[in-house]
Chains A and B, each alone.
Chain A
Amino acid sequence: MWEKFLKSRKQIIFTGVFIGVFAALLQRWGNPPNMGICVACMLRDISGALGLHRVGVVQYLRPEIIGFVLGSLISALAYKEFKPRGGSAPIIRFILGFWAMVGALVFLGCPWRTLLRLAGGDANAFFGLAGLVVGIWIGVFFLKAGYNLGRYQRSSSFIGWIMPVIMVGILLLLIFKPHLPSGVVFFSIQGPGSQHAPIFLALLIAMVIGFLAQRTRFCTVAAVRDIIIIKDTYLFTGVMSLLLAALISNLILGQFNFGFQDQPIAHNNQLWNFGGMVLAGLAFTLAGGCPGRQLFLSGEGDADATIFVIGMIIGAGFAHNFDLTSSPNGPGRWGPAAVIIGLIICMIIGFSMSDQFRKKREA
């Protein structure tokens, strides 16, 4: 029985293990602690490098993000799945990306980093994980009530190439490091932004991850969603593989340190670790996937996912400029209020885009 189970799931398990092992190794090779890969943190660093926020310690053009998109693009082109499309409520997707980022930066991590923090022994991440599950569960409530953002339209191939071209542009900025009078491109000289693995090594690993994830549909949020709605564990197997592979790798590399106190790039205000991820989980579910998945979709031509990612980058800029983000000392001054506002906005989106509630209004 086990043999059959493993055979039917070997690709998703391999993808999870690959991400887990190489996230731990990327950390060994220079990325910040428990942050071998974090889609939210890395988009935030890109936002900073481009000058959308001016927090000096979190500014870097992360090649991992570039690699995710380009790896997915290569896979989609190779397997004839590059499908330029868009037009499914783009402005709503922008808003969801914005608030997903705010929630993630109050917790300090995306769903992937939640798993990687757990695998590094950071017990605070349990509260983030619980928040994530609750957020997804609220999102499923809306899905069952008929929530949808309308169908996408097939579009000209130009639409599908926008994100890959943006990523190539960012890669060129990373390689040539131009310094303009305004100060951009900013690269941190201390703090997490200054910690990074060698550029081309990180890019290559991320491209393989992008390729594998496009093939397997790896998604942390859909993993939980599928368990709640259809009791299917295919994607969840991949998520558990990531967690276990990262845990074992961290134990071998001596990167495991269990506890609540003094965890790297984390705080122990559990209420807002939880609350931040409720917001992120809800926003991801309403948008149809975790931030990693949104990057992979944008690589295969999905302009709606591209808008979501741009919403996250802009959200990161706002979150830092308006003191919404947490630091190791705890939530930012306006972080908790922002989470509540974000939840209200996501709920309004959930209700207003659901058939059940639309019909009631029209009746």
Chain B
Amino acid sequence: MGKTIIEKLIQLHSDEEVSAGNIVWMKLDIRTARDFGGPNVVKNLEKHYPDAELPDKENLFFTFDTVAPAKTIPYANNQQICRDFAHKNGLKVYDVDAGIGTHILMEKGFARPGRTLVGTDSHFNILGAVNAFGQGMGDQDIAFGFRTGKTWFEVPETIKINLKGAFSYPATGKDLVLFILKKIGSKGALGKCIEYFGECLQDLPFAEYITLCSMMTEMGGIVAFPEQNAQVTQWLKERTGEDQKFIVADEDAQYAQKNEIDVSGLPPQIACPPKPDNVKDVSELKGLKVGSVFVGSCTNGRIEDMRYLADILKDNHVAEGVMLRVVPATREVYGQMLQEGLIDIFFNAGAIVSNPGCGGCASGQIGMTGKGEVQISTSNRNFKGKQGDGETYLASPVTAALAALKGEL
């Protein structure tokens, strides 16, 4: 019987028979922890495996991205716990200056087709964009992975989704994933993988592959694998120095479901509070007054996202009373923004630009919303209270930029 992508990928890391529904032990290529979860990974290791030698240390990292730099003493202490542990064990730390862990793994070429990578970040499945199996896990799971290099995993079933038709600007990868979320819902891929196919993927920039894969978490899913396109191939070649070929499913692979979603002429989409799958056409909310705008996060914090924003803000200023916050995903993106003059554009447009990291999503590092405040965010979650007491709408950088400029949708 044929195998799906996830079955093949896990099989490369397991001695057991891998097929959907089986629980198998799987080797982990890269193990990481960040400042959320990381201190408890250390605590667990020290409690359960004191002074134990950790295997495969060159593939063990800490990445600080959620509260960067630490804004309270408890967070500062937590980061220092991780630093001290890393130092003692000779592990690399991507510190508070570096940016979002998953993005660094892609930039440095650690994430590549066929690899297994874990971290204490529920959007680790973003790495499906490069055909890698990224998985967010809790601190006990990660501590165990640090010590053993292995984890148990229930091999997920896969849904095959054919995206029919083509769409173009102003719709982007964010509008695509919000539309898919509207169609399948917050439990649409619960415990499952998705393999995406379709003509529209061929033209999608790599950054939008990241966007597409990142919101798998909001569908309840394990990891999404879009088919390989030329732009991802190019990125991987630059980052890994080699030609990389995606793992593809066998023709007779068994799927839990096969869906077709028609995306032809897709208009811009927006997720209304308080759920990411509460998605509407932006046009349905025309005139909605906006108080603040956040552009960044693991979902839309790449240079391509920043260029969308800059194209609209160039020689313009945000509307009176609107606060625009911009957070690059990584230091590399920050550097590109500087070089390309985007930071000038954002400054002149009246935006706040911060150092790289998770930005608005985690502990409101770049500010939270107050009761009654309407925020347009390019992030991935708008749950009640997640980014403050206000109302958060999820949209693309294009929609966010226009909202900042006009002060309304």
Q: Do A and B bind each other?
A: no
